[in-house]
């Protein structure tokens, strides 16, 4: 039998690394640990995709580009979405003797042994990129197509503008748009990082004139192409303050209605749809306990109470427990005594209200409140007090970490990963 080549030999054959690259990677691996291939990626010598392709070649495994439409959903259902996301592994097909599982690394022996024990079948791996696997999991478990008439590419059934405005506002949309091309108009709104759209029936201009009260146009800097105005939009007997942006061209027009900040607290950009879907999958699987870290650290107190609404939707029954941040969060605020025993007692009392989600900023050490806190609601968002505390959080049932970074221009970066604890931590 032909001897299996090592990863360095394969990448040299592909012309991707040189001997000095291997030496740099080995030195990096010796200092920081991990695998040789990971060191190559961390040093920027090869890309993550090149590593995956080389691993597939090393272990003589197929490198695949899976599509949800071709996957056997009964086979995928052998594992929960939480398990699939945590392991980045998903069963995709089965014969009488063999189960094919797509993974991001051929070294996942724990995945192989667990599925062999579960099914009694031989397990064969296929390799795909982590991004492809996560997208596949979201497509299969995330209900793509549910409520499809309100999603991009969904049903073509037209609705009245009144019905669309009422639906979008009831769902908590902060931005609604109308695109006009010739005699055709489509409306869209953003919800939970997802953009939904529908064609509008005739008469939408009349409905808009009836519900929209325009103010004076704002003075825009010279060279801008759109017109902005303050306005109010009628909804359920109230006048909502909004900003209107309008772009007119000979071939069509765009109109955007954007709700302005109000007493509801700070406004945040929507998280990526991928993160929203994955968090909801975790909650539905009973694994919606998430430790949160932010960069800068001061962002944590501002955004933490908003996470249930941003990630689970405006109808979520959520509460914030502990210290009230500034500005005060919208919705339920539960202040607790500054005493470990009384904190635990208060948290146990809150369980009776069956909240959908809670956030917390509690005093003292996590050991004083983490155990009772994770039982308060189906979704729990809690600050990660330090990287060294991951093992304690994992033992308490907090299995996921959400990292949020504030970038230039107010943009946010979002990363959701399982909490991993290396030996010795």
| pLDDT tens-digit series, residues 74-83 | 899 999 999 9
pLDDT digits (tens, 9 = 90+) for 337-357: 788 888 889 899 888 888 899
* pLDDT of amino acid 228: 80
* pLDDT of amino acid 387: 86
> What domains are there in the chain, each with its CATH number?
7-58 (no CATH), 68-141 (3.30.300.160), 148-259 (3.30.450.90), 273-418 (3.40.50.300)
Range in 65-69, 84-88, 180-184 with the lowest mean pLDDT: 65-69
Q: Is the pLDDT assigned to residue 419 strictly greater than 80?
A: yes
What would the mean pLDDT of 308-324 be, rounded to a whole number? 86
Q: Is the pLDDT assigned to residue 154 strictly greater than 50?
A: no
What would the mean pLDDT of 180-204 be, rounded to a whole number? 84
What would the mean pLDDT of 389-398 be, rounded to a whole number? 92
Q: Is the pLDDT assigned to residue 266 strictly greater than 70?
A: no
Q: Is the pLDDT assigned to residue 257 strictly greater than 60?
A: yes
**Max avg pLDDT among 34-38, 179-183, 401-405:** 401-405
* pLDDT of amino acid 327: 65
* pLDDT of amino acid 424: 52
Tell me which of 70 and 308 has the higher pLDDT: 308
% of the chain at pLDDT higher than 90: 34
pLDDT digits (tens, 9 = 90+) for 271-301: 888 898 899 999 988 889 999 999 999 899 8
Residue 161 main-chain phi, psi, to 5 deg = -65, -35
Q: How confident is the model at residue 220 (pLDDT cuts 50, 70, 90)?
A: low
* pLDDT of amino acid 145: 37
Tell me which of 202 and 170 has the higher pLDDT: 202
* pLDDT of amino acid 209: 93
What would the mean pLDDT of 238-244 be, rounded to a whole number? 87
Q: Is the pLDDT assigned to residue 142 strictly greater than 80?
A: no
What would the mean pLDDT of 223-248 be, rounded to a whole number? 81
Q: Is the pLDDT assigned to residue 155 strictly greater than 50?
A: no
- Single pTM value for the model: 0.61
**Cβ atoms of 417 and 292 closer than 8 Å:** no
Q: Is the pLDDT assigned to residue 210 strictly greater than 90?
A: yes
Cα–Cα distance measured from residue 118 to residue 196, given in angstroms and rounded to the nearest whole number: 40
Tell me which of 174 and 424 has the higher pLDDT: 174
Tell me which of 420 and 281 has the higher pLDDT: 281
């Amino acid at each position: 039998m032909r001897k299996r080549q090592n990863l360095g030999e394969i990448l040299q054959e592909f012309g991707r690394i040189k001997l000095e690259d291997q030496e740099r990677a080995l030195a990096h691996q010796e200092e920081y640990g991990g695998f040789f291939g990971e060191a190559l990626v961390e040093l920027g010598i090869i890309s993550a995709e090149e590593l995956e392709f080389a691993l597939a070649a090393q272990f003589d495994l197929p490198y695949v580009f899976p599509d949800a439409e071709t996957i056997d959903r009964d086979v995928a259902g052998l594992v929960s979405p939480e398990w699939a996301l945590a392991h980045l592994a998903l069963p995709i097909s089965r014969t009488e003797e063999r189960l094919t599982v797509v993974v991001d690394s051929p070294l996942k022996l724990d995945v192989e042994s667990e599925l062999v024990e579960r099914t009694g079948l031989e397990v064969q791996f296929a390799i795909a990129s982590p991004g492809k696997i996560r997208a596949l999991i979201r497509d299969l478990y995330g209900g793509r197509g549910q409520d499809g008439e309100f999603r991009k590419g969904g049903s073509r059934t037209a609705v009245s503008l009144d019905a669309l405005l009422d639906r979008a506002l009831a769902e908590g949309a902060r931005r609604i748009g109308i695109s006009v091309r010739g005699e055709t108009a489509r409306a869209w709104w953003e919800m939970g990082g997802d953009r939904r759209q529908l064609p509008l029936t005739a008469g939408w201009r009349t409905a808009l004139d009836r519900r929209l009260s325009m103010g004076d146009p704002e003075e825009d800097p010279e060279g801008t192409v759109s017109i902005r105005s303050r306005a109010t939009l009628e909804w359920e007997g109230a006048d909502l303050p909004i900003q209107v942006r309008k772009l007119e061209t000979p071939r069509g027009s765009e109109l955007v209605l954007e709700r302005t900040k109000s007493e509801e607290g700070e406004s945040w950009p929507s998280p990526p749809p991928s993160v929203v879907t994955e968090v909801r999958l975790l909650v539905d699987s009973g694994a919606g306990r998430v430790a949160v870290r932010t960069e800068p650290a001061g962002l944590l107190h501002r955004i933490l109470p908003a996470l249930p609404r941003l990630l689970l939707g405006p109808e979520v029954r959520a509460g914030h427990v502990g210290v009230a941040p500034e500005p005060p969060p919208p919705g339920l605020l539960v202040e607790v005594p500054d005493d470990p025993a009384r904190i635990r007692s208060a948290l146990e009392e809150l369980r009776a209200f069956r909240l959908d989600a809670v956030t917390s900023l509690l005093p003292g050490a996590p050991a004083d409140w983490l155990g009772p806190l994770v039982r308060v609601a189906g979704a729990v968002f809690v600050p990660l007090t330090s990287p060294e505390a991951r093992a304690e959080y994992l033992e308490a049932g907090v299995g996921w970490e959400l990292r949020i970074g504030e970038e230039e221009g107010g943009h946010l970066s979002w990363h959701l990963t399982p909490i991993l604890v290396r030996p010795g931590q």
